[in-house]
Amino acid sequence: MKKENSDKDKLIEVEGKYSSQNIKRSVLKKQIIEIFYKEGTKTIAELRDLCNNSIPTLTAIMGELTQDKWTKKIGIADSKSGRRPAIYGINPTKGHFVSIRLSRRRTMILIYDMLNQPVSALLELKDGIDTSENILQIIKQEVLILLKEVGLSSKQILGYGITIPGLINMREGMSYSYPLLAQRPLLEIFGDLFEKPIIVEHDTKAMAIGELWFGLAKNKFNSLFVNVGSGIGLGQIINGDIYRGHTGYSGEFGHIQMDPDGELCYCGRIGCLETLASGTALVKKAKEEISKGKGTKITAMVNGNINNIKLGIIIAAAHEGDQFSIELLEMAGEHLAKAISILIHLYNPESIIIGGEMADAKQILIGLIRQKLKKYTMPFLKKETKIQFSGLKESAGLMGVLPVIMGKVLSIYFDETN
Ligand SMILES: [Zn+2]
pLDDT value at 8 more than 50:
no
H helix runs in 71-171, sequence order: 135-149
DSSP 85: P
CA-wise closest residue to 158 among 397, 412, 396, 395: 412
For residue 392, the CA-to-ligand 1 centroid distance in Å is 27
pLDDT value at 362 more than 90:
yes
Topology adopted by domain 96-208+397-415: Nucleotidyltransferase; domain 5 (3.30.420)
For residue 235, the CA-to-ligand 1 centroid distance in Å is 17
Same topology, domains 96-208+397-415 and 216-391? Answer is yes
Q: Is 219 left (phi over 0), alpha (psi -120 to 50) or beta?
A: left
pLDDT at 417: 53
**Higher-confidence position of 381 and 277:** 277
| Mean pLDDT computed over 400-412 | 97
Class of domain 216-391: alpha beta
Per-residue pLDDT tens for 154-167? 999 999 999 999 99
For residue 222, the CA-to-ligand 1 centroid distance in Å is 26
For residue 268, the CA-to-ligand 1 centroid distance in Å is 6
For residue 34, the CA-to-ligand 1 centroid distance in Å is 40
For residue 294, the CA-to-ligand 1 centroid distance in Å is 28
Percent of the chain residues past pLDDT 70, beyond the cut: 95
Per-residue pLDDT tens for 50-78? 999 999 999 999 999 999 999 999 999 88
For residue 167, the CA-to-ligand 1 centroid distance in Å is 13
CA–CA dist 411, 307 (Å, integer): 47
3-state helix, strand, coil in the chain (%, to 5): 50, 20, 35
For residue 228, the CA-to-ligand 1 centroid distance in Å is 14
Per-residue pLDDT tens for 188-200? 999 999 999 999 9
For residue 255, the CA-to-ligand 1 centroid distance in Å is 4
DSSP 414: I
pLDDT value at 2 more than 50:
no
Burial class (CB in 10 A: 0-12, 13-18, 19+), 202: buried
pLDDT at 18: 54
Per-residue pLDDT tens for 215-241? 999 999 999 999 999 999 999 999 999
Per-residue pLDDT tens for 78-114? 877 778 899 999 999 999 999 999 999 899 999 999 9
pLDDT at 378: 94
For residue 27, the CA-to-ligand 1 centroid distance in Å is 46
Provide the residue type at 281 as one letter.
Answer: A
For residue 79, the CA-to-ligand 1 centroid distance in Å is 61
Under 8 Å between Cβ of 92 and 72: no
- Mean pLDDT rounded to a whole number for the chain: 93
CA–CA dist 161, 258 (Å, integer): 34
pTM of the model: 0.91
For residue 25, the CA-to-ligand 1 centroid distance in Å is 51
CA–CA dist 251, 224 (Å, integer): 10
pLDDT at 17: 47
Domain residue limits, the chain = 2-90, 96-208+397-415, 216-391
For residue 274, the CA-to-ligand 1 centroid distance in Å is 6
Is the domain spanning 2-90 CATH 1.10.10.10? The answer is yes
